[in-house]
Amino acid sequence: MFGFLKKNRRIILQNDLAEEMAISNYEVDIKKTYIKEILNKRKLPLVLLDPLWHSIREQIVSESIDKNQGILQELLKEQGRLTNDYKDYGTVKQNFLKQILTLSGELRGEEDTQKIEALSNLHASTLGANQKLETIEKRLEKVEEEIEAINREIIEEIVAVGYEYIAICKNNCESLERQINELRAQVMIKTNEKKKNEQVLKGIYNYMHHVVGQNQIEIIDKELWDTEK
């Protein structure tokens, strides 16, 4: 239905907005389909807890990643709440069972209507706790499935966009390598020119020292350079 909407995917080189580059959504989607199949049965780390992901997070821009990370964060919060609730209701249930055992031991044939009513209430409360635990357990299982699915979606997007990043960086490296080689060639040419000039300079000075003498050359040097300045 919304296939016409363009996805916002970009990469930022060296955390520099000036080096921001838009990447091909078509290429990313093609890669993502292939990556999904490869990662299908692989256990994946939780992306929000991965320090390596956070170290490159600012360089990869994807609306899908931003949105799904928000969903994942909320699911993890819900999972934490449900886990705590499950522990709390488990403790409550155990307390009910202890009270049931205590009251059952106290009755032993006695017709204590008050204790019988309390025992009945405890059984009802225990049943309620069991139902609550069952509800929480089912939701926990569902949340775990949702966490797995959304985390997988995020990582598939990261890897697909990452390969576009790698392709751009490889091209940049090849281009830079060519430039480096050109600069090396220029440095070599300039170095040879410098050596030739040094050889000419040395040859002329040697000749003038031989003909005129070192002391006179130093006087001439000082006079000429001072004059030029």
Per the domain annotation, does 105 fall within a domain? Answer: yes
CA angle 27, 32, 38 (to 5 degrees): 135
CA angle 130, 135, 136 (to 5 degrees): 95
Per the domain annotation, does 218 fall within a domain? Answer: no
Per the domain annotation, does 163 fall within a domain? Answer: yes
**Token code pair at residue 186:** 């220029």
Cα–Cα dist 121/104, whole Å: 13
Per the domain annotation, does 150 fall within a domain? Answer: yes
Q: Which structural domain range is residue 43 located in?
A: 9-15+24-182
Residue pair 35/159 in contact (Cβ under 8 Å)? The answer is: yes
Number of domains in the chain: 1
Per the domain annotation, does 37 fall within a domain? Answer: yes
pLDDT band, residue 7 (cuts 50/70/90): low
Per the domain annotation, does 145 fall within a domain? Answer: yes
Mean pLDDT of the chain: 84
Between 43 and 14, where is the model more confident?
43
Average pLDDT over residues 8-22: 59
Query: Helices 63-107 and 113-212, interaxial angle, to 10°?
Result: 150
Task: Choose among 78, 39, 76: nearest CA to 158.
Answer: 39
What is residue 2's predicted lDDT score, i.e. its pLDDT? 34
Q: What is the pLDDT of residues 96-155, one digit of tens each?
A: 888 888 888 777 666 777 878 888 888 898 999 999 999 999 999 999 999 999 999 999
Cα–Cα dist 124/129, whole Å: 9
Q: What is the pLDDT of residues 176-213, one digit of tens each?
A: 999 999 999 999 999 999 999 999 989 988 888 888 88
Per the domain annotation, does 229 fall within a domain? Answer: no
Q: What is the pLDDT of residues 144-162, one digit of tens each?
A: 999 999 999 999 999 988 8
